[in-house]
Amino acid sequence: MKLIYTALVATVFAAPVFADSHSAGDAAAGEKNFGKCKACHAIVDDAGEVIQKGGKTGPNLFNIVGRQAGSVDGYKYGKSLVDAGDAGLIWDEATLAAYMSNPTDFLRETLDDSKARSKMSFKLRKGGEDVAAYLASVSPSAAEATGEAEAPATE
């Protein structure tokens, strides 16, 4: 009986650790999968350095993690995404992965509005967690928020 109790307690305490480790994506795999996103999105840092060359149909995805949804200056977002941002949606890896898998369904659920729509029609069925991890790796504000900021570059 003591062995069963010990195993049960160990499982309860270990479950959150395993859940966290399995929910994180692989940034290297995400960088490869980003090829599917490049038709519409580029990643260009604030200094103008191109991290990923891509299209301009969608907004620049540099520093998206930690940013309010629908808030890149100069990009015309759909109403539903702007509404989600105004309601407090801040992109993190989990919300990005969920959004990429089905943008319209994500917005409908987030806004509790069956008429919500996304301008992004592409659905990334697999690898969303990896792409989100990659986008987090090119999001300095996310690293700063978690205390993982790199040392400032010397000029």
pLDDT digits (tens, 9 = 90+) for 124-143: 999 999 999 999 999 887 65
pLDDT score for 24: 77
Instruction: Dump pLDDT digits (tens) for 79-90.
Output: 999 999 999 999
Cα–Cα distance between 43 and 103 in angstroms, integer?
Answer: 20
pLDDT score for 155: 36
- Separation in Å, CA 22 to CA 5, 16, 18, 71: 25, 10, 6, 30
Q: Which residues of the chain have pLDDT under 70?
A: 1-23, 142-155
